[in-house]
Amino acid sequence: MARWVRIGIWGCVLWLWLFPGVHIDRLARSRAVAVPVRSIDAIDLAPLMRVTERLRGLKFRQPVPVRPLTDATLRQLLNRQWEQYATQLQAEAVILRLLGLLRSNEHLRQLLDPLYQQQVAGVYDPLDKVMYVRTGTLAGWTAMIVVHELAHALVDQHFDLRAYIYADDIRQDSERMMVRRAVAEGDATIVMLAYAMEQAGMAENGVDWLKDADPDAFATIMTGLDLQTYLGAVDLPEWIVQLFLSPYVYGMRICLEAYRRNGWAGVNRLYRDPPETSAQLMHLDRYFHHRPGRRLQVDVSETATVRYRGWIGELVWQVWLDHFLEEDVAQKAATGWDGDGAVLLESNTGQWTFIAITEWVREQDAQEFVQAAREALHRRDRLSGLIPIRWHLERTGRRVRIEIRRVRGEQ
């Protein structure tokens, strides 16, 4: 455990990928040699590309196109993401309001945009296969972020991240997309941490520490980080912080375990045979023993329009329960998840209804979830600032059905 305490300070680089460059001046600098950069090109990145190749155990198959990253370019990239997923994000925002996570006067973009108004050092876009880098100095924390992005570019050339994460059938299912993003981010983050350890003099070969890494201990340290401290004036609801942080923590955890079992070949397997659900990230044996959980079908009325259909997953259920209940109660109630299916329906009169069917490993697990979900919904009913709803819960054996309907004509 002492080893993890020692490298714990480097764990905070996680948020540098989640929210790149945020208050970077507050952090200590590594002893990396500065590389002055006036206009970024592949020649400037060549030393870091070689380091990334050595650490990740892969070779670049072709040069990575490099373009300067300006505030305007960043806004364009972010706007493209919002526009590309506008319909899906609108549907998910309705689900978040019905569940009581998003208040009636809150909007996802208004909450998330401030995160990206900070200084971003670099970003790799797997959609256009381009690396965007700020002009300045490739050293210290900036170099670490660039190594992280180069790791994405390197993996992309071997496993095609655009198909892995953004294929039509994947991006329409938030659970599967989140899990695959978690793998990619976990992979790049451990490469970045290996680089950071070398620059800090903690290891002669940064990947050596991966062989003895304890994924659970690492996840415990990362989960304990106070992200809000690093975000400064950016004030976020706790559930958003959890949904942002958890996939990256669990992504590193599964990548570390895969590496411990079979080196980089084990990590590469995560791209060829990816996990399907957050339960496989949270309980690693479920991935290595091929138990993703069942996808359940929710039957709907022919008169309703389906605006969302997909998995919800153990992670989101736990975050939802944790929003209203005590942490240990939420965690216990979500454990035992073994599958689900959910739909968001819009009637021809504009009525929104969220229906989810969950399945649990044991009947006792289903009972615990019903009790926790019922208490969470009762507490939601007593809160102000949320859209009014009617809800119904019922359990049949190991299955639980949840229906939440917007009450029309009320605010």
Last residue of a domain, one of 226, 258, 286: 286
Q: Which amino acid is at 360?
A: W
∠ CA 384-241-292, nearest 5°, is 105
327 shares its domain with 240: no
Work out whether the CA dihedral 184, 185, 186, 187 comes out positive or negative.
positive
What letter would DSSP give residue 33? P
Number of domains in the chain: 2
Residues 235 and 328 in one domain: no
CATH number of domain containing 335: 3.30.565
- The size of the chain, in residues, is 411
Identify the DSSP state of 23.
Answer: T
**Among the three residues 239, 259, 286, which one is the final residue of a domain in this structure?**
286
Residues 6+ away with beta carbon under 8 Å from 14? 189, 222, 225, 245, 248, 249, 252
Helix (H) or strand (E) holding 199: helix 174-199
> Does residue 246 sit in the same domain as residue 163?
yes
Distance set, CA 84 to CA 88, 127, 171, 330, 362 (Å): 9, 12, 10, 33, 40
**85 located within any domain:** no
H or E, element range at 219: helix 215-223
Do both 237 and 365 map to the same domain? no
Q: Check whether residue 226 and residue 355 sit in a common domain.
A: no
Please tell me the chain's helix, strand, coil percentages from 3-state DSSP, rounded to the nearest 5.
55, 15, 30
Whether 219 and 270 map to the same domain: the answer is yes
Tell me whether residue 112 is in a domain. Answer: no
How far, CA to CA in Å, does 110 sit from each of 105, 116, 203, 246, 383?
Answer: 10, 11, 42, 21, 22
Give the structural domain span for 194.
Answer: 2-69+120-286
- Same domain? For 279 and 310 the reply is no
Q: What gap in Å lies between CA 86 and CA 285, rounded to an integer?
A: 35
Task: Check whether 22 has a pLDDT greater than 60.
Answer: no
One domain, residues 237 and 335: no
26-40, 132-146, 251-265: least confidently modelled range:
26-40
The verdict on 271 and 298 lying in the same domain is: no
pLDDT at 19: 30
Judgement on whether residues 207 and 337 belong to the same structural domain of the protein: no
**pLDDT tens for residues 185-235?**
999 989 998 998 888 887 778 787 777 777 676 666 555 555 555 455 457
Tell me if 81 is assigned to some domain. no
Q: What is the pLDDT of residues 82-105, one digit of tens each?
A: 888 888 889 999 999 999 999 999
Residue 192 lies in a domain: yes
Residue 256, domain member (yes or no): yes
Residue 14: in which H helix or E strand, if any?
A: helix 14-18
- Pick from 286, 321, 350: which residue ends a domain? 286
Within 10 angstroms of residue 378's Cβ, the number of other Cβ atoms is 11
If asked whether residues 132 and 238 sit together in one domain, one would say yes
Per-residue pLDDT, averaged over 75-84, amounts to 84
More confident of the two residues 205 and 18: 205
- Segment 125-177, tens digit of pLDDT: 999 999 988 876 566 678 888 999 999 999 999 999 999 999 988 888 889 99
- Residue range 351-408, pLDDT digits in tens: 999 999 999 999 999 999 999 999 999 999 999 999 999 999 999 999 999 999 998 7
Whether pLDDT at 243 is above 60: yes
pLDDT at residue 264 greater than cutoff 70? yes
